[in-house]
């Protein structure tokens, strides 16, 4: 099972990285960053499953890393979207003098 998840994680990382490099629009880049991030979090989940000690479902350390990572990715997305909105507001003001 963990092989499938690992493969999916690798695909997500690849897709996200491709999007980050290829797209020119900032919003798309931020979405790609989130796809890339999801891939990394899934990979950490796989690592947690593989590293489980006897009698446990998963190694708790990578899971803790995922939670912190999600908080960081969320804040980064919020900051990026706020900047994009601010730039859009500027555009609108210039459009209707």
Partner 1 sequence: MSSAALLILVLTLPVAGILLVVVGGGRQARGISLAVLVGNFAVAVGIGGAVCRTGRAVTYSSGGWTAPLGIQLRADGLSVVMLITAAVVALAVGVYAPNEFAVRRGGVETRRSLAFWSLLLAVSCAMNAIFLGNDFFNLYVALELLTFAAVPLVCLTGTRATLEAALRYLLFALTGSALYLLGVALLYGNYGTLDITKLSGLVRYEPGMPLWVAVALMTSGLAAKTALFPLHLWLPPAHGGAPPSASALLSALVVKGSFFLTVRLWFDTVPGQAGMRTGQLLGAMGAGAIVVGGVLALKQERLKLLIAYSTVAQIGYLFLMFPLAGHVGALSGGMLQAAAHAFAKASMFLGAGLMAEVAGSDRLDGLRGMGRALPLTTCAFVLAALSLVGVPPTGGFMAKWQLLSAAFSAGQWWWVVVILCGGLLAGGYMFRAVRPTLVEGIQPAAAIPRLREWVVLALAVCALLLGGFSKKVLELLDIGRPQITEMRP
Instruction: Tell me the closest approach of the beta carbon of residue 26 to partner 1, in angstroms.
Output: 6
Nearer to partner 1, 26 or 57 (CB): 26
CB-based contact 3:12 (threshold 8 Å): no
DSSP string covering 26-83: HHHHHHHHHHHHHHHHHHHHHHHHHTPPTT-SS-HHHHHHHHHHHHHHHHHHHHHHHH
CA atoms of 5 and 76, how far apart (whole Å): 25
Closer Cβ to partner 1, 8 or 20, answer by number: 20
Return the number of the residue (11 or 61) whose C-beta is nearest partner 1: 61
Contacting residues toward partner 1, per CB under 8 A: 13, 16, 20, 26, 29-30, 33, 36-37, 40, 43-44, 46-47, 50-51, 61-62, 65, 68-69, 72, 75-76, 79-80, 83-84, 86-87, 90
């Amino acid at each position: 099972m963990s092989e499938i998840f690992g493969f999916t994680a690798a695909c997500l990382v690849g897709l996200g990285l491709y999007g980050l490099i290829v797209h020119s629009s900032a919003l798309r880049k931020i979405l790609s960053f989130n796809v890339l991030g999801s891939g990394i979090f899934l990979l950490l989940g796989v690592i947690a499953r593989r590293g489980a000690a006897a009698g446990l479902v998963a190694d708790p350390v990578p899971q803790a890393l995922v939670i912190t990572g999600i908080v960081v990715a969320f804040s980064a997305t919020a900051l990026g979207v706020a900047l994009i909105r601010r730039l859009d507001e500027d555009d609108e003001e210039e459009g209707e003098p």
